[in-house]
Amino acid sequence: MTTYEEWRVTGTWDGRDVDVLFSPTRAPGVDPADSARDYAVQVTKRGWTWTVGPHLHKRTVTVTDWTEVDT
């Protein structure tokens, strides 16, 4: 069994709804928490304005072995 954390940034900037997922399965070796926080900051640094958010969310994902089941 393996567990890992995923982070998500949601909100609206410049009229665009944002829902971006940061996961170690998408970018191995990269910290999803740092990436999510950095994304929220970079939007502002590039001159875009958050009108809603940014909202950060996290969850723990548990991956287990596959179990065969009868049909």
Would residue 19 count as lying in a domain? yes
* SS3 of residue 53 by DSSP: strand
Domain count, the chain: 1
Confidence of residue 58 (pLDDT cuts 50, 70, 90): very high
pTM of the model: 0.84
Would residue 69 count as lying in a domain? no
What the block records as the tokens of 25 is: 């399965």
Average confidence (pLDDT) over 40-45: 93
Is residue 18 within 8 A of residue 71, CB to CB? The reply is no
Would residue 59 count as lying in a domain? yes
Would residue 41 count as lying in a domain? yes
Domain that holds residue 13: 2-63
pLDDT exceeds 90 at position 1: no
* Residues comprising the chain, all counted: 71
Would residue 54 count as lying in a domain? yes
Cα 31 from Cα 16, distance rounded (Å):
25
Higher pLDDT: 1 or 25? It is 25
